[in-house]
Structure 1
Amino acid sequence: SGNVFADLGFDAEEARNLQLRAELMSRIASFVVKSGLSQQVSAKHLGISQPRLNALLKGRIGDFSLDALVVLLSRIGLEVTMKIRKAA
């Protein structure tokens, strides 16, 4: 299906939401790793606690809403754009 969450049995809407959150979390994690900064410094830059950043880096997807992830991305200079299309 191209969506691991759908393949795991989540309904279509939840699977898409989880996929979007996973993609955004991956971008944030990539930025943190590539920056070479400690989790403490990275967390301060993101405006969150180090334990919260650790949860993100461990992929705890249920701890983060789409809104929260969009805010974090904006804090590291990335912009989220949307494309709306008819469902397949």
Structure 2
Amino acid sequence: MKSKTTHTTPAGGNVFADLGFSPEEAAKLKAHSDMVIQTKLKLAKSVSDWITEQDLKQEQAAAIFNTSRPRVSDLVNGKIGKFTIDALLSMLAATGQTAELNIRR
């Protein structure tokens, strides 16, 4: 039997603040989280685009990246939460591409 939700609390835009972190700590945690997500998205898109450009099947890409076909499926379907930045960088390197880090103040 499914339970019914009878009450919800609207989110304030920063899950860390909603969880009770101080405003300063919540802002730092959110900035870090956003940075990691954007980095993963860019890396995954570059690798996924390369797979498409090379007209590779997932099995072929898996062999190149020394991983499984389901792992490549996760990549091309945007399941970036299943990947570390390091894993995505390794895949990017296997494509012959490089990454560059830009630091802004």
What TM-score comes out, normalization by structure 2 length? 0.70
Structure 1: stretches of 5+ with no match in the other structure: 1-7
1:28 is paired with a residue whose SS is helix
Give % identity. Answer: 27
3-state SS in 2 of match to 1:59: coil
How many matched pairs? 79
Question: Whose RCO is larger (CA < 8 A, sep 6+)?
Answer: 1
Q: Shift in Å at residue 62 of structure 1?
A: 0.6
Q: CA-atom RMSD, angstroms?
A: 1.4
Q: TM-score, normalised by structure 1?
A: 0.83
After TM superposition, which residue ranges in structure 1, 4 or more long, deviate above 2 angstroms? none
What are the ranges of 5 or more consecutive residues in structure 2 without an aligned counterpart? 1-12, 16-29
Q: Return the match for 1:48 from 67, 84, 90.
A: 67
Distance of 2:77 and 2:64 partners within structure 1? 18
1:39 aligns with 2:23: no
Larger radius of gyration: 2
